Structure 1
Amino acid sequence: MGKVYNIFLAIFCAIGSFLFGYDSGIISSIITFSAFKSFVNDPGNYDSLSGAVVSTFTGGCFFGAATAGWTNDKLGRIRTVQLGVSISLWGCAMQAGANNFATMLIGRIVAGFAIGVLSMTVPLYNTEIAPPKNRGFVVGLTQQMLGIGFIVANWVGYGCQFLNGNTQWRLPLGLQLAPAFLLLVGSPFMPQSPRWLLEHGRDEEAREVVYRLHGSDAATRDEADAEFAEMQETIKAEMLVRSRSLSDLWATRGMLRRTFVAVGVQVFGQFSGINVLNYFGPSMYRALGLSAGQSLLVQGIYGAVGPITNFFFITLLLDTVGRKKPLLFGAGSFVVTYSCLTAIVASFPPDQSTNLAAQRAGIAMIFLTSIFFSLSFGPVSWVLASEVFPTRTRSIGTSVATCANWAFNVLFSQVSNIAIVNISWKYYVVFIVLNAVDFVIMALFFPETKGKTLEQMAEVFGDEVDAHGVLESSAAHEKFDHENLDSAKV
């Protein structure tokens, strides 16, 4: 029963990731709609402005993720989720009801800020409620719900192209309000993270949450007691020796390595180029010779491939094969797929060639990139970035890693559409080089973390806090102080 409850919580919290996936998918369709182009009403600068529609959102995400590091520590995980979805409702309403392009951009920034908050908080919360042996699956649901949001968005976009007037783009943007409202209404019934409760001295509440997460039978009660004892001892020790400063992320060699791994896996996920395909997929398909309608149809099919692959991977393999091997597989695979895509587009330029076999092969490479991403960086980046930090710095560390993700997301979303139009196949060479470098770095410096409790990560990174020693030392100091005080009174 405890496992079912864990999974239910993870899926419900990951509605925040669904919003992220839906926005990523729907904007790739909206920027191709004729009604939206008429709304922007600047044909000469449309490529730049459509890039701005995407990049202002991701820029807002960056600042949202940065803010969430503080709110998660001060307010807790659930209150931060509530803050994120409340702001999301505001931003989505502004987009759907925009009467000029400036209002649209502001709405994109506000909604992006909300998604930044949620994109950092959802995997953080799921990491802290998941049992070690299933943590890959539970946190991998973040990517699963993101993918489902992408599927829904692509097919909503495909259907809305047949509508007339501004309803063509207002309706799909307005539909974002429904999942945000659902998460806002349901979030008060979700338990706080037991680790956050322990940090704030609410030990008995934390114990009750651990019992609920493990189930109610006697066998799981013993397991819950053991996990709670380890959790309590380690967190209390960390609170005695650590501050809440950003500099903690590089204060020791072990912490620096943790930060390098967490930031690295998020940035390398962007180097996969997956969001270039997500945001500008229809533009890329048109560059391969497809019509606008065909491009949206192919994008809809493409959107289903990744989530299906991701589901089987997190269900059957992630907690077995670990974290490092899938990442190496992903980076190596991207080198191959982008090399093939580059060769196809360079050899058969879409504006000069009508070779249908080459078009199909190019589309196949894009589909394979999505499949390989779902077998590697898609789920693993969220799992690894949130599980490597100790409780005391997990919130701020996950925030920094997620900010790094969004920073590169902003970069690629701003330049990609322009690059695809102006330099075509040469742009894909960038991703060949980046993923080759990623492969080497991960092979040399990334550790394996599967099956470890969050409190055991200190052993993996070589900066273990001796909880027994710290607590005994603290107790000894307190005893010494009491003895001196008693002597002084005598």
Structure 2
Amino acid sequence: MVKQFGNVYFISAIAIIGGGLFGFDISSMSAIIATPNYLNYFNQGPIPGRGPRSDVQGGITASMAGGSWLGALCSGFISDRFGRKSAIMIGSVIWIIGSIIISASQNIAMLIVGRIINGFCVGICSAQVPVYISEIAPPSKRGRLVGMQQWAITWGIMIMFYISYGCSFIKGTASFRVPWALQMIPAIILFIGMMFLPESPRWLATKDRWEDCERVLVLTHGKGDPHSPWVAREYNEIKQWLEIERQAKHISYLELLKPRYINRTHIGLFTQIWSQLTGMNVMMYYITYVFAMAGLTGDQLLISSSIQYVINVVMTVPALIWVDRIGRRPTLMVGSILMMTWLFANAGILAVYGTYPGPDGVGGIKEASTEVSGAASKAVIACSYLFVASFAPTWGPVSWIYPPELFPNHLRGKAVALATSGNWAFNFALGYFVPPAFVSIRWKTYIIFGVFCAAMTIHVFFMFPETAGKPLEEVNEMFEDPNGIRYIGTPAWKTKNFTSQVARMEDNKDIPEKRSDEFSPVRHESVATEPKSQV
């Protein structure tokens, strides 16, 4: 039997490579779409070097998101049937196949097919890595560990951008084939690394593999001590809630739409949808268009674009440190308000100081449909950097942390898969929409995303409860009582972030040492400003 490691930071460090694959894909396209070799090889139309049409380039970019949408939906079935760990390993194999096709692309159709296959992997991993980490992490570290997925995405974006930039100096098609082929390396590392990690204890419990479940809890939470009080409490909590959940008997996507779960489903789905409607991936995929409007060209354009990827990596770190302490709600609302500010600022700058360069755009990039210079140019670049710095510690990590916390064990795999599919559906739509939007409505594109940021601030305030610092079974009690009867608890804006008594026991500091068999399941208070939620 392969030796398994129980350190939750090591487990997360391996699993989040699945998120890194998403980052690799983003910048492998954004760093390449403006290079001469790419534009010449995939050129459409009579004028050499113009590259694909705007709508076709949007389709190429969005094809990965389309595959990810399908992969996210399928991931729930794969994860529930074969396990969280196996689902991630299956995704890594699919990524390798897709990368081979992409790097060997002879035409646009082959490129799109390869990106769809890669997207299928990203859909699986982006949905199930947060589920896997959530189910294996202790409550007080769950936000930090799940948020590491976003950090891996930012690292993937930055590393792949610089690889692509370095390869851009190679003559011929190798300038984009080499970086596309190198994408296979992290997937190979992910597949091998997952062999040394344990399966989710909560998934093992749903398969009645209780000895394996307890073994994983001892390995990950008990530091090898089978008599750890925290392990006993966690084991009993899982067992009790699983008995309650099995009374439902139905485990399907339709279950998520029933009155008992519809509120949680809508919150989880919109967490992922809003993360796309912030406009962040527009900045990731098409930042070269934005900076071309600001008058940057050639190497200066690529290097200036890469700075935002460095900002993205660095500014995600504060979230990993403080997201469990600050909570989910304040982090989301502060982020959306700041992003709204920078989006409206950019719209105003381009509207007032921008000029129309003609149908060919700035420097022959037709999507760069507004040109600014001088102080206005620097302001556009600054606001773009500030936008990234606002997204990175807020909506970036929390959009992955929050949905897995909302759902009971028997629905978590499918629920997070559905929520993540919303992310990819809107990612696809926006990837296809933005290039033509820059051509047709120009600076007004920023207004659209600014309005979305205002709307999500209001939505979070009224509808998103605080979930930080609670065991997953305890979070479940925020939405229903132990008998599974639906109720309206404390309004979302009154919920608070605090670490519950049972969560504080994870380090075995707050209770005396006792044998595992001395513990029995207990009920806990709902997360609220008052001791009890109203039934």
TM-score, normalised via structure 1 length = 0.91
Contact residue 6 and residue 197 of structure 2 kept, 8 A: no
> Is it true that 1:430 corresponds to 2:448 in the alignment?
yes
2:212 to 173, 182, 205: 205
Equivalent pairs, count: 464
Q: What SS is found at the alignment partner of 1:189?
A: coil
Counterpart amino acid of 1:190? L
Residue 459 of structure 2 corresponds to which residue in structure 1? 441
Contact residue 288 and residue 345 of structure 1 kept, 8 A: no
Contact residue 81 and residue 121 of structure 1 kept, 8 A: yes
Residue 265 of structure 1 corresponds to which residue in structure 2? 271
- Measure, in 2, the Cα distance between the counterparts of 1:21 and 1:320: 27
Q: Cα–Cα, structure 1 residues 127 and 230, in superposed 2: closer, same or farther, change >3 Å?
A: same
> Is it true that 1:458 corresponds to 2:476 in the alignment?
yes
1:391-446 Cα distance to aligned partner (Å, 9 max, x none): 01101100110000000000100010121133210111101111111111111111
> Is it true that 1:370 corresponds to 2:388 in the alignment?
yes
- Measure, in 2, the Cα distance between the counterparts of 1:408 and 1:466: 33
- Measure, in 1, the Cα distance between the counterparts of 2:223 and 2:55: 57
1:39 to 38, 41, 44: 41
Contact residue 154 and residue 299 of structure 1 kept, 8 A: no
Counterpart amino acid of 1:333? L
1:386 to 404, 410, 429: 404
Shift of 1:4: 7.7
Residue 412 of structure 1 corresponds to which residue in structure 2? 430
Q: What SS is found at the alignment partner of 2:31?
A: helix
Counterpart amino acid of 1:454? L
- Measure, in 2, the Cα distance between the counterparts of 1:292 and 1:265: 37
Counterpart amino acid of 1:320? R
Contact residue 331 and residue 394 of structure 2 kept, 8 A: yes
Contact residue 39 and residue 101 of structure 1 kept, 8 A: no
Shift of 1:201: 0.6
Shift of 1:118: 0.8
1:367-387 Cα distance to aligned partner (Å, 9 max, x none): 111111112111111010111
Q: What SS is found at the alignment partner of 2:295?
A: coil
Contact residue 244 and residue 482 of structure 2 kept, 8 A: no
> Is it true that 1:349 corresponds to 2:371 in the alignment?
no
Contact residue 158 and residue 300 of structure 1 kept, 8 A: no
Residue 329 of structure 1 corresponds to which residue in structure 2? 334
Shift of 1:68: 0.3
Name whichever structure is richer in helix by fraction. Answer: 1
1:319 to 317, 324, 340: 324
- Measure, in 2, the Cα distance between the counterparts of 1:155 and 1:247: 44
Shift of 1:48: 2.0
Shift of 1:237: 2.3
Counterpart amino acid of 1:296? L
Q: Cα–Cα, structure 1 residues 266 and 313, in superposed 2: closer, same or farther, change >3 Å?
A: same
CA-based RMSD of the aligned residues comes to 1.9
Counterpart amino acid of 1:187? M
Residue 18 of structure 1 corresponds to which residue in structure 2? 20
Map residues 101-250 of structure 1 onto 2, 5 A cutoff: 101-216=108-223, 218=225, 221-250=228-257
- Structure 2 segments unaligned to the other structure (5+ residues): 45-49, 358-370, 486-535
Residue 533 of structure 2 corresponds to which residue in structure 1? none
Deviates more, 1:327-336 or 1:203-212: 327-336
Q: Cα–Cα, structure 1 residues 310 and 44, in superposed 2: closer, same or farther, change >3 Å?
A: closer
Q: Cα–Cα, structure 1 residues 435 and 131, in superposed 2: closer, same or farther, change >3 Å?
A: same
- Structure 1 segments unaligned to the other structure (5+ residues): 468-490
Counterpart amino acid of 2:15? C
Contact residue 330 and residue 373 of structure 1 kept, 8 A: yes
Q: Cα–Cα, structure 1 residues 147 and 24, in superposed 2: closer, same or farther, change >3 Å?
A: same
Identity fraction in percent = 30
1:130-187 Cα distance to aligned partner (Å, 9 max, x none): 1001111010001010110011012112212211100111011111010111111222
Shift of 1:53: 1.3
Q: What SS is found at the alignment partner of 2:246?
A: helix
